[in-house]
Structure 1
Amino acid sequence: MTRLANKTAVITGGSTGIGFETAKQFIAQGARVIITGQNETRLNAAADALGENAIPVKADVRSLADLDHLAAQVEATFGKLDILFANAGIGYFATIEQVDEAFYDNQFDINVKGVFLTKKFGSVRVASALPKPRPSRTAFSDYLCTLLVPQ
């Protein structure tokens, strides 16, 4: 199938788990995909496994500089962004007594600030590719939801 033919997608946290599987599905549907992650070895291995329609870009969703670099890569490689999947997230668990400020800040920065900055990055990029600005659609994923919802 080619429902996503000639579409460009960015998937944050695309080197493992839900992000990696989503990249496989998008590519199978004809999309060109940029996957992001912080671990360069895992990121490159994922891109190799996904094939020629996957491009790895090392990026930390907490960093505006990294998102600017990602935007430059999208524009230089594809010229446009059609789909943004804000998937990057972490889940470290501890008792309340074990949680310190750094532990909390790290999770909040990736799971909340990172999604916000990614959405902001995507909204600007999608709108700039259109003849006149319109609202963008962005998908969000949180793999922890499966742990919290009764089966």
Structure 2
Amino acid sequence: MTAILALQKMHLSDKHLVRIAEHYGHRFTVFHSPDPSAPNARGVAFVVNTSLIRVTNAHVRTLVPGRAILLSIPWQNDCTLHLLNVYAPNDPTENQHSWSQLLEHWTTNHSPLPKADIMLGDFNLVKDELDCLPPYADHTRAVVELNALKTCLGLYNGWHTTYSDK
């Protein structure tokens, strides 16, 4: 049974959210960020199974509308878990800019944010040629910006750390 589900490319309107709440509100809570400029093309969401996790003091921050949200949710032993859900653009230049834009949220003093414990989503790039068949490299600057964000947040790719040559 899933406790928290991160979704990308969500085309949820307010009507959809109301219908979901009517039918499933007793079991699930949806935290959603649409893209106001393209509501049928983008959107990110977290679906929390409320039979497993309390959402009473959960807080969601939209970092980039339709592209990135940060969910802070009470966890075990009075800790708070911070989850960053990202749906990065396909275009390599826009992809690079999106990582830089996210990094700014943690490197400026405008809005102090807790560091994400987990970052997940659709990054629309590959870090290493080994991740693709046939192997190919993605936009170098986009990968550099993604790595800068991961470094700033103290995150690492568990798969690449464990299986660096596969």
**TM-score scaled to structure 1, two decimals?**
0.34
Which protein has greater RCO, CA pairs closer than 8 Å, 6+ apart? 1
- Structure ranking higher in strand proportion: 2
| TM-score calculated relative to the size of structure 2 | 0.32
More helix per residue: 1 or 2? 1
Point out the structure with max Rg over C-alpha: 2
